[in-house]
Structure 1
Amino acid sequence: MAKVKSVKFDGELIHVFNSAIYVFESGQDLTLQLDMIVSEIVVKKVQQVENVIAEIELEDSRMIDSIMHVKIIPGVLPQLSLFVELDDRQDYDFLDFVNENDAWFPNIEEGITIDAIRKVEMPEEEIRIKLKLPIDQVEWLKAQKKTRLNEILKEMIYEYWKKHNSK
């Protein structure tokens, strides 16, 4: 099976944790397909995108450049499927061909956890918290810059989390 070395979307290199590239055969139709485990950040970037210009470098130095459709695969791990219809099977004879009736199908999730992905790219989300605090603490909080408050809260929560989840 061909191995993917790197992937770029619209010129931007993305981190791929595992992938499978193959040609899917369904009746007379041929589809180049790239299934990938990526970070939640990458999934969020392409959520509203239908197509990307994909630059796929294989480990044997072959390059595949194509405008490909993007499909987000739901599940525990952040997963994308890029695909494009093909005209000529001979142009891709170096890839595995998977038939719709085959029992074999690439399993790219094996051995990967969401924790391992988040160690490489941790997504951040905004949250609003309503608190009832003494006025002096409220005044102090209002005097702080947002970036500093983010740092303080992250640090405090991680310390609390480590202390109470290490048992």
Structure 2
Amino acid sequence: MVVVKTVKFDGEEIHFFNHAIYIFEDHARFNLELDLIVSEVVLKKYKKVENLIIEIELDDGRWLNLIMHVKILPGRLPQLNLFCEIDDIEDYCDFVQVKEAESDFPNIEEGITLEDIRKVEMPDEEVNIRVKLPIDQVEWVKGQKKSQLSEMVKEFIYQYWEDYNK
């Protein structure tokens, strides 16, 4: 069984939580496919990209350098599917092969939770909050930098959340 050690997208190493690399046979055509569980941050960064230069280091020391198409896979965890057509299947004889008629795709989500992923890389989202405050607090808030306010609100919510969940 072939195991992926590292993956780089356009030269940038990507942290992944699980993977499956295999040959997919579809009407006598063969694709090399790499399914990756990634963070929500990575998924967001690459979800609108169509093609990437991918460098894959296998655990046996081999390197694969390919231009691969990018597709988002549905599921409970953030997943990318990278694929490219290959001409010579002989170069990939030790890879798992999956035929179109089979539904024997590896389950790479097993044993991983969204909470596990967020412990490694927590995504940030922008949110607008409208509150009614006394004028002296409004003046103080307007005098603060956005980054400082964001940090204060984040810390307040975490503290409140912690106290609330006791």
Structure 2-normalised TM-score? 0.96
Corresponding residue SS for 1:21? strand
Structure 2 gap ranges (5+): none
- Say whether 1:110 aligns with 2:115: no
Does residue 120 of structure 2 align to residue 120 of structure 1?
Answer: yes
The residue aligned with 2:95 is: 95
Distance in 2 (CA, whole Å) between partners of 1:6 and 1:121 is 18
What is the correspondence of 1:3-152 to structure 2 with a 5 Å cutoff?
A: 3-152=3-152
Secondary structure of 1:119's counterpart equals helix
Instruction: Tell me the distance in 2 between the aligned counterparts of 1:133 and 1:14.
Output: 44
Q: In structure 1, the residue corresponding to 2:163 is in which secondary structure?
A: helix
RMSD: 1.0
**Which amino acid is 1:6 matched to?**
T
* CA distances 1:96-147 after superposition (whole Å, capped 9, x unpaired): 1111233532110000000000000101011111111111111111111111
Identity of aligned residues (%): 60
| Paired positions, count | 166
Q: Distance in 1 between matches of 2:60 and 2:52?
A: 23
Q: Distance in 1 between the 2:39 and 2:137 partners?
A: 37
Q: Secondary structure at the match of 2:44?
A: helix
Q: Is 1:159 the counterpart of 2:159 in the alignment?
A: yes
Q: Distance in 2 between matches of 1:102 and 1:48?
A: 29
Matched residue type, 2:137: Q
How many angstroms does 1:84 deviate by? 0.2
Give the whole-Å Cα distance in 1 for the aligned partners of 2:74 and 2:157. Answer: 29
Listed one character per residue, the Cα deviations across residues 9-65 of structure 1 (whole Å, up to 9, x for unaligned) are 000011010000000112201000000100011111112210000001111111111
Letter in 2 for 1:70: V
Task: Please give the alpha-carbon distance, in whole angstroms, between the structure 1 residues aligned to 2:36 and 2:47.
Answer: 15
Q: Distance in 2 between matches of 1:8 and 1:53?
A: 8
Could you list the runs of 5+ residues in structure 1 that have no partner in the other structure?
none
Counterpart amino acid of 1:62? R
Question: What secondary structure is seen at the aligned counterpart in 2 of 1:163?
Answer: helix
